[in-house]
Amino acid sequence: MIVIPVKTKGSNTYIIKDKRSIIVDTGGKGNVDRILNVLQDEGISIDDISLIIITHAHIDHYGSVKELKKKVAAPVLIHKEDASDMGQGVISSLYSRNKFAKMILPFFETKTKEGYKADIVIDKNISLVPYGVSGEIICTPGHTNGSISVFLENKVAIIGDLLMGGSLGGLINKTQPNLHYFVNNKYLEKKSIQSLQEKTLHTIYVGHGGPLNMTQFSSIAF
């Protein structure tokens, strides 16, 4: 089993290749060709994609899902707390963590015509074995109420925006684990991050920057 990072506009996309393959997030709008090109380069058939997971309902993570669905028949999955926002083409609540976040908030896209009603809506942890991947989806709320992460059997995790790598979208110190600029619920965020820290992981992939430097992972300051 391998994880293939795809540098998409907006945020990172990941392809998990196992018995079958899963796409995690789609980046913002205009990324379909990038994703399809990587699939082709990796020898992954479109028909082999079993699932498209959206980690949370922010446009920089689901912006290309509607167009991607025109090419890929696999169902789209999201948590029920974020499902309505993606369906309406809006973003789940953004609350700034600090002054810098308040400064950049006006530049974020908050509405799109490219919303999509998910095919699968979950409200609990589920196994990915039925989709041909040795792993599971875990609820990791905090960044949004419906944020989810993917934990794989080989001790790799894909966590969306529960954390970020470095700063400025990973342009600076991209492997340094940092709290994201925006958070919906700090208490739930802390619990979700602490649950990650209790696991024996060797690689964590994030929506911006990364992968994270695991030697620094346990020292995140809340």
pLDDT average per 10 residues of sequence, the chain (222 residues): 94 98 97 97 97 97 97 98 96 87 83 92 98 98 98 97 86 90 95 92 95 85 70
Q: How far apart are CA 190 and CA 162, in angstroms?
A: 9
CATH class of 2-219: alpha beta
**Distance (Å, rounded) from C-alpha 131 to C-alpha 135?**
10
Inter-CA distances, 113 with 48, 92, 102, 116, 149, Å: 28, 15, 25, 9, 26
Distance CA 217, CA 157 (A): 13
DSSP summary character for residue 158: E
Q: Which residue has the tokens 């989810």?
A: 148
φ, ψ at 15 (rounded to 5°): -115, 120
- Nearest Cα neighbor of 148 from 32, 22, 38 is 22
Q: Which of 59, 97, 194 is nearest to 140 (CA)?
A: 194
Closest CA to 157 of 175, 138, 170, 144: 138
Q: Which of 57, 59, 9, 58 is nearest to 35 (CA)?
A: 9
Q: What are phi and psi for residue 88, nearest 5 degrees?
A: -90, -5
| pLDDT value of position 48 | 97
Closest CA to 38 of 57, 76, 75, 64: 64
pLDDT of residue 168: 74
- Determine the Cα–Cα distance for residues 92 and 98; give it in Å rounded to an integer: 18
